[in-house]
């Protein structure tokens, strides 16, 4: 299963296996996923792997 690196609304960067409807461009990049750091449903957006490593 492919993993996606994402950033939540609070700035936490993590990877997730479930990034629902990733190909649905009309919905925009944000999705609701449970953040493992703040343990809440947060709006997340995908980040480039290079950008995630720099932080």
Interval 7-34 mean pLDDT: 75
Contact predicate 4/15, CB 8 Å: yes
| First-last CA distance in the chain | 25
Please give the Cα distance from 15 to 6 (Å, whole number). 6
Does this model's pTM top 0.85? My answer is no
The residue ranking higher by pLDDT, 48 or 8, is: 8
Interval 5-34 mean pLDDT: 76
- What 3-state DSSP class applies to 17? coil
Angle at 39 between CA 17 and CA 12, to 5 degrees: 70
Per-residue pLDDT at 13? 92
Confidence of residue 12 (pLDDT cuts 50, 70, 90): very high
Per-residue tokens: 34: 């449970």
The residue ranking higher by pLDDT, 17 or 18, is: 17
State the chain's mean pLDDT as an integer. 76
């Amino acid at each position: 299963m492919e993993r996606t690196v994402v950033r939540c609304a609070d700035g936490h960067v993590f990877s997730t296996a479930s990034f629902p409807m990733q190909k649905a461009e009309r919905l925009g990049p944000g999705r609701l996923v449970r953040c493992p750091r703040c343990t809440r449903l947060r709006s997340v957006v995908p980040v480039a792997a290079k950008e995630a490593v720099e932080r």
